[in-house]
Structure 1
C-alpha cells in the first residue's frame, strides 16, 4: 500500500491503492466488516493518490495516466475524469472542511487547484524546479503546502 485515506462517520471506511506499478485500481473498505465495498476501475495506469471528500461521499484518485478521477461512493461510479497534468499525478487532497476545492500535484513540477463541484481549474501553482511529490492543506483551508524532489517545500496562500 502506498496511500491510505480514512473517513470517520456513521461507517468507518478507508480507501487505498496497492504499491506502485501493481495495478490501476482503488479500493474502499468497510473497516467494521473488513469487506471491500467499492472497487474503482477506470485508470489506465497505476493509482498513486487517493483521498476522501470531507462529507465522505466522494473519493479522488490520481494516477500515472496523468488524470484524476472523482468517484461517488453512493452511486458506485466515476463522476468526473480530470485531465489534470502533463505527467503522473502524485498527490490529491480535498480542502478539509467543506471540500470547496481539490488540489492535485504532479511530476510536471506543478500543483493545481480545482473547484468543487465542477472541477474547473482555479489556479496552477508553479515554482518548483522538480517533481512535486505531495500536497496538503491547512486545517483552516487558507494554505496549501507542496513538497518536491527539488528539496523544497512551498506554502501557498489560497486566493
Structure 2
C-alpha cells in the first residue's frame, strides 16, 4: 500500500501485520506495482520519481527521474517485461528488470491521469479527471481512439472523472471506477468494421526517445 505519509507498506495478508515500511519518497505514494521477481515492488510518487524496491533488505534498488510531475498511475504488461507510468507531463514506457526508458507515448492526454491498464493484445487505456478514456497501441505509442465516460443522471459535470481502471482476465472487458460513484464495464463493439470505425494509424518510423 502507498499513502500520504510518503511510505509504501508491505503487509502479510494472513496475519495482517506490516512486514516492511519502505521509506525514500519525498511526497505521497500514488501508485504501486507488485511482481513475483525483482524488483518485487515499484512505486510512483507525487515527488515525480519511480522507485524499485529490494524486499530482502527493504531498501531502494533504483530511482527513475524521467517524469517532471506526479506519477499517479502505473501498469505492468501481462506478458512483456515492461511497465508504463502516467503523469501530467507524459506517459512513459520502461523495460524490466533494470528500468531502461523505452519511449513516450506519441500524444498527450490533456488531463490529470489517474488510471492506466494494458491487456495481452497491447491495448493500453488511460483515464483521468476529465472523464476521457484514451486507447493506445502499446508498441508504437499511438493514440488510436478516445471515448468519454457517461455521467450518471443527477451528477455534476465535474463528476465525470475516472479514478481507476483494469481489464478482466480475458482482456476484452474494461472496468472503470468513476467520480460519479459508479463502476462501469466496457466491452468491444462486436459490430465494428474498418468502415464504421476507421483508424488513422500510421506508425512513425522513429519513435521519439527523450
Question: Which TM-score band (shorter chain)?
Answer: 0.7 to 0.9
**Distance in 2 of aligned mates of 1:120 and 1:80:** 11
Q: What residue is the counterpart of 2:88 in the other structure?
A: 107
* TM-score, normalising length: structure 2: 0.61
**Distance in 2 of aligned mates of 1:94 and 1:27:** 20
Count residues in correspondence.
Answer: 138
Farther off after superposition, 27-36 or 48-57:
48-57
Q: What residue is the counterpart of 1:66 in the other structure?
A: 48
Give deviations 1:118-142, integer Å, cap 9, x for gaps.
Answer: 212112123311122211111x161
The structural deviation recorded for 1:150 is 3.4
The structural deviation recorded for 1:85 is 1.1
**Largest Rg, 1 or 2:** 2
The correspondence for 1:149, drawn from 104, 114, 129, is 129
1:24 aligns with 2:6: yes
Q: What residue is the counterpart of 1:130 in the other structure?
A: 111
**Distance in 2 of aligned mates of 1:38 and 1:97:** 28
- Whether the 8 Å contact between 1:96 and 1:141 is mirrored in structure 2 is no
- The structure carrying a bigger strand percent of its residues is 1
SS in 1 for 2:44: strand
Q: What residue is the counterpart of 2:185 in the other structure?
A: none
- Whether the 8 Å contact between 1:66 and 1:83 is mirrored in structure 2 is yes
The correspondence for 1:37, drawn from 9, 19, 22, is 19
Give deviations 1:91-146, integer Å, cap 9, x for gaps.
Answer: 12222345x001111122x21110112212112123311122211111x1612211
Q: What residue is the counterpart of 2:138 in the other structure?
A: 158
1:116 aligns with 2:96: yes
Farther off after superposition, 149-158 or 76-85:
149-158
The structural deviation recorded for 1:55 is 4.1
Q: What residue is the counterpart of 2:148 in the other structure?
A: none
Give deviations 1:52-80, integer Å, cap 9, x for gaps.
Answer: 02548611111110001011223322111
**Distance in 2 of aligned mates of 1:134 and 1:55:** 24
The structural deviation recorded for 1:49 is 0.7
Farther off after superposition, 32-41 or 142-151:
142-151
Q: Give unmatched runs, 5+ long, in structure 2.
A: 140-210
Q: Which has the higher contact order (CA 8 A, sep 6+)?
A: 1
SS in 1 for 2:51: strand
